[in-house]
Amino acid sequence: MRHEPLGQFEVPRGTSAASSVDVTIVMPCLNETQCLPHCIANAQQALERIADQYGLTGEILIADNGSTDGSQELAVHLGARVVNVPERGYGAALIGGSKAAYGKYIMMGDADGSYDFTDGVAMIGELERGAGLCMGNRFAGGIVPGAMPPLHRYLGNPVLSAIARWLHGSPVRDFHCGLRAYTREAFERIGARSPGMEFASEMVINASRAGLAVREVPITLHRDLRERAPHLRSFRDGWRHLRHIIAHAPDTMYLLPGLTLLATGILGLAILAEGPVRIAGQYFGIHFVALSSMATLIGLAAILLGSMAKVAIAIYQPTYRGRIVSWLKRGRPLEWLVGSGGILATFGLAADLLLAFKWIFVGGAMELSIHLSFAITTAVVAGVMMVLSGFVLKLLLDTLDHYPAR
């Protein structure tokens, strides 16, 4: 991502002012002249407390996202530094601002007055004690009446946070709090790239995946100072969070269910291939063969897609690749999948032809071998899926070679 400077708004990197900064408070900004005076004054109070408690110096950085109301000039007048981030979006602004920050510690918060930056002083303390990312927890600290819509407070945020904790094993209770702090090194390891609101989820997911120490401190959410509608769109941005949370959890969403379904399906086909059986007095016939076939194919598809998702995530975020991706890179998945899948499909087609010739030339009721036909057809489809998936997986692994792990 390229960030173009705004001339008089940007201090050159490497100056004495830049080298003396320990903490940068970053605010994304899009037409916030109404709120900036309060937010910058509040951020200055936070920096004063940080200086008193930890002896750290700081700066205020406004990551402007294309304001047309004079926000840039106002911010400079109020003592902040401004950088222009041409790519639109909440995440894009914060990524650009974090890259332009001079401090070794970065605190981010919205420029709408909803967060008290002095609550972030404790976050800097957690970073001093070894945390890589420190999140604010609005539900533990308090939500001022009217500060959060009921839909967000009682459904959206709790549900999305619970799903994210379950899928990603993160300890964070408030995944989408906009007040948080992180070290520069942690930001680089997190490698967040989402330009939209889902950036908030991506940061926490990637921090957990990268093995960073993630902590929370209670904060208070206040009513924002805007007279216009917020940039957040509940259902659009909620869906963007949810799809990111799910797409980046291949172990839980793909691989584990896939292994379970595949093993169950194969066992069912093996038991029922020769015909109906009775187990504990219960009759298992053709419907259970169909269920076993479905479980086998869905399970195999989930495993193949989950493996591809793991590689795709490693391409997207090369900080951490995990054992499965490392194993795939060391092995020869294309040859293994094409070889075993080709054999499976070939033998399945041959067996299907033999059954067909038996019905044509020898005679007999076709219903007697319908269970076996289901099992054979499942093997053929599974083999073809393996062959085709092998080539896609190889393509992804070749792409991964151009993105070295950090």
- What are the start-end ranges of the E strands in 138-247? 180-183, 214-218
pLDDT at 12: 47
What is the tens place of the pLDDT at every residue in 133-156? 999 999 999 999 988 888 888 888
Query: Which residues on adjacent β-strands are paired with residue 24?
Result: 59, 106
Three-class DSSP category at 228: coil
Q: Span 356-366, mean pLDDT?
A: 66
Cα 317 → chain centroid: 10
Q: Span 83-99, mean pLDDT?
A: 95
Q: Span 48-68, mean pLDDT?
A: 96
What is the tens place of the pLDDT at every residue in 26-56? 999 999 999 999 999 999 999 999 999 999 9
Three-class DSSP category at 82: strand
**Which of 246-255, 299-308, 358-367 is the most confident on average?**
299-308
Q: Which secondary structure element, helix H or strand E, spans residue 136, and what is its range?
A: strand 133-137
Distance, in Å, from the CA atom of 224 to the CA atom of 230, rounded to the nearest integer, reads 9
Q: Are 140 and 147 in contact (CB under 8 A)?
A: no
Q: Are 311 and 397 in contact (CB under 8 A)?
A: yes
3-class SS letters over 89-115: CHHHHHHHHHHHCCCCEEEECCCCCCE
Segments of the chain assigned to CATH 3.90.550.10: 7-247
* Opening angle at CA 240, ends 25 and 161, nearest 5: 70
DSSP 21-33: --EEEEEEESS-T
Q: Is the pLDDT of residue 8 over 50?
A: no
Both tokens of 392, joined, read 């896609």
Distance, in Å, from the CA atom of 289 to the CA atom of 307, rounded to the nearest integer, reads 27
Q: Is the pLDDT of residue 20 over 60?
A: yes
Q: Is the pLDDT of residue 381 over 70?
A: yes
pLDDT at 321: 63
C-alpha dist (Å) from residue 110 to 184, 220, 238: 19, 13, 18
Q: Span 9-20, mean pLDDT?
A: 56
Q: Span 320-340, mean pLDDT?
A: 84
Both tokens of 18, joined, read 């830049």
**Of the candidate ranges 3-12, 224-233, 244-253, the one whose mean pLDDT is the lowest:** 3-12
Phi, psi of 23 (to 5 degrees): -125, 130
Distance, in Å, from the CA atom of 384 to the CA atom of 305, rounded to the nearest integer, reads 14
Distance, in Å, from the CA atom of 80 to the CA atom of 58, rounded to the nearest integer, reads 11
Q: Are 307 and 198 in contact (CB under 8 A)?
A: no
Q: How many residues does the chain have?
A: 406
What is the tens place of the pLDDT at every residue in 186-218? 999 998 888 988 899 999 999 988 889 999 999
CATH 3.90.550.10 fits domain 7-247:
yes
Distance, in Å, from the CA atom of 180 to the CA atom of 193, rounded to the nearest integer, reads 17
* pLDDT tier, 232 (very low <50, low <70, confident <90, very high otherwise): low
Q: Is the pLDDT of residue 229 over 50?
A: yes
Query: At how many degrees (to 10) do helices 256-272 and 286-316 cross?
Result: 150
Distance, in Å, from the CA atom of 94 to the CA atom of 84, rounded to the nearest integer, reads 11
pLDDT at 1: 34
Q: Is the pLDDT of residue 58 over 70?
A: yes
Average confidence score pLDDT of the chain: 88
Percentage of the chain modeled with pLDDT above 90? 61
pTM, two decimals, is 0.80
- Name which residue leads in pLDDT, 375 or 9: 375
pLDDT at 281: 84
pLDDT at 373: 87
Q: Is the pLDDT of residue 72 over 70?
A: yes
Both tokens of 389, joined, read 């998936």
User: Terminal CA-to-CA distance of the chain, rounded, Å?
Assistant: 18
Q: Is the pLDDT of residue 372 over 90?
A: no
Distance, in Å, from the CA atom of 90 to the CA atom of 27, rounded to the nearest integer, reads 10
**Of the candidate ranges 4-18, 80-94, 258-272, the one whose mean pLDDT is the lowest:** 4-18
- Name which residue leads in pLDDT, 13 or 347: 347
pLDDT at 154: 84
Task: State whether the Cα torsion 28-31-36-38 is positive or negative.
Answer: negative
Q: Are 131 and 215 in contact (CB under 8 A)?
A: yes
C-alpha dist (Å) from residue 294 to 238, 309, 370: 32, 22, 15
Query: Which residues on adjacent β-strands are paired with residue 180?
Result: 108, 135
What is the tens place of the pLDDT at every residue in 276-329? 888 888 888 889 999 999 999 999 999 999 999 999 888 877 656 678 888 888
Task: State whether the Cα torsion 302-237-28-67 is positive or negative.
Answer: positive
- Name which residue leads in pLDDT, 369 or 124: 124
Percentage of the chain modeled with pLDDT above 70? 89
Q: Is the pLDDT of residue 11 over 70?
A: no
pLDDT at 368: 56
Sole residue written with tokens 């911010």? 75
pLDDT at 17: 59
pLDDT at 324: 84
Q: Which secondary structure element, helix H or strand E, spans residue 133, and what is its range?
A: strand 133-137
* pLDDT tier, 6 (very low <50, low <70, confident <90, very high otherwise): very low
Q: What burial letters (b/e) apply to 87-111, b meaning 16+ CB within 10 Å?
A: eebbbbbbbbbbbbbbbebbbbbbb
